[in-house]
Chains A and B, each alone.
Chain A
């Protein structure tokens, strides 16, 4: 094989961009709108310009992987979204802030780039509106940018998270792209390093790498038989370590981990009351983004305790 199989993060990620294309996440803009807004505010403070486009649609990977439809529309939608970025914003890298968008975009572009016939099929279909996907657009996750800017983040901390025990949830669809992600998929630590840079105490709990359980619609169909016992194991191990706050980098994981805690208690697990927020929102808090802009009202498990510990109120 002549194709290089393992791409080191240094080769893949390169230098910090001045301007990036932020890929809209459906859940991140509807269920937890504070996630999208928080990331934009954080990137503004860090001096990175963000571009979004109203012509971009859903990545269409989630329901594909639920076997809701065959791969053709998802491949065409990917070619359309990325063709649009290539044509309108030449040279900009695509940054997703949802593990779903990141994972499915990486997977689907891999299929498009490896198979000429799928690429031709998709380009023929989206060509009728003038799009053409060449395979140039590169896909990254926003958390990779945070890690690259970790020194800048450390300098700009306004409200250090002193004494706050924060646990991280990386999410499977980021770590599963094992070739060319920022960290080792088996034992990643870069979230913990970011939390440390914000002044908090990172907590390593036993089921740290464990899936949120909602990955493929099993929250709709196997909630009681599979997802809830599975999540209870995760939360039990987090509770044992005295976790005060959990951070995710995927609005989808956020839905599962945040919304499900009350239902777990109803079924006799727990009880748990661990607030779950996005890593971008946590960085936003530490960098002094106004709290009302981070949209914590969307959370089921209230974040008020954490805010008062940091000396902040919801209206700040």
Chain B
């Protein structure tokens, strides 16, 4: 792991990440670790530690966070938010940290497969519309239970939905990240921590489950 330099640290990192003011109270973090203890991802990926990530954001360790693989593992199950004694909305923090990583070219591979569905949603007004064969299957299913073949979403709704994405610049942002060059992500938090079977290169499910159970 390369040594971190002075210029890699940024005192204003938290205010830059929380650009939309959705978290607001991160500085109240008690470092109690309830978030980590209840995190289903931390149970599988021990190097992923929400408490340490919050600490690093407050300390301003931008380089370690942005190219980290760990920040892409959060499910957004919001267990951490539910249990947090000071109500820090960690998932919204993660969402905004990921914007920052994306704009620096990291982790595009984790968002582009999902963006495909957004572009399709702009044509249908519904998220997760499948391909042509999938649509035929849905229409068959819906007909068999006696409802109209396709969910009723009006042309007006789709037009306005698309316009919202165009006028807020969201569509342009999505097209922009499609054309960016991908930079590799790595496990940033291995040093000094317990590593699990996956990171040691042992990818057989059986061994991992025994250690987890």
Contact = CB atoms under 8 A, between A and B. Distances in A.
A70 B145 contact: no
A222 B76 CA distance: 13
A49 interface: no
Contact of A68 (B72, B114, B144, B205): B114
Given A30-B151, A297-B144, A111 B99 contact: no
A208 B121 CA distance: 33
B210 to A, nearest CB: 11
Interface stretch (A14-22, A71-79, A86-94): A71-79
Looking at chain A's contact residues, the main secondary structure is helix
A275 interface: no
A200 B159 CA distance: 46
Contact of B95 (A31, A56, A65): A65
A221 interface: yes
A189 interface: no
Contacts of A63: 114-115, 117-118, 121, 127
B104 to A, nearest CB: 13
Given A218-B75, A226-B73, A185 B21 contact: no
Given A211-B77, A269-B205, A33 B212 contact: no
Contact of A30 (B129, B168, B198): B129
Interface residues of A, number: 73
Interface stretch (B2-10, B56-64, B105-113): B105-113
A57 interface: yes
A42 to B, nearest CB: 14
A225 B95 contact: no
Contacts of B110: 217, 221-222
B76 A216 contact: yes
Given A221-B109, A228-B205, A31 B170 contact: no
Contacts of B74: 216
Contacts of B78: 103, 172-173, 176
Contacts of A67: 95, 98-99, 102, 111
A129 B160 contact: yes
Interface string A164-198: 00000000110110100000011000000000000
Given A55-B154, A220-B113, A236 B213 contact: yes
Interface string B143-156: 01111000111101
Closest 3 CB pairs of A and B: A176-B78, A211-B77, A216-B76
12 contacts: A33-B145, A57-B157, A69-B170, A70-B170, A76-B168, A172-B75, A175-B82, A211-B77, A217-B110, A220-B113, A222-B110, A236-B213
Interface of B: 20-22, 40-41, 43-45, 72-79, 81-82, 91, 95, 98-99, 102, 109-111, 113-115, 117-118, 121, 125-130, 138, 141-142, 144-147, 151-154, 156-158, 160-161, 164-165, 167-170, 173-174, 198, 204-206, 208-209, 212-213
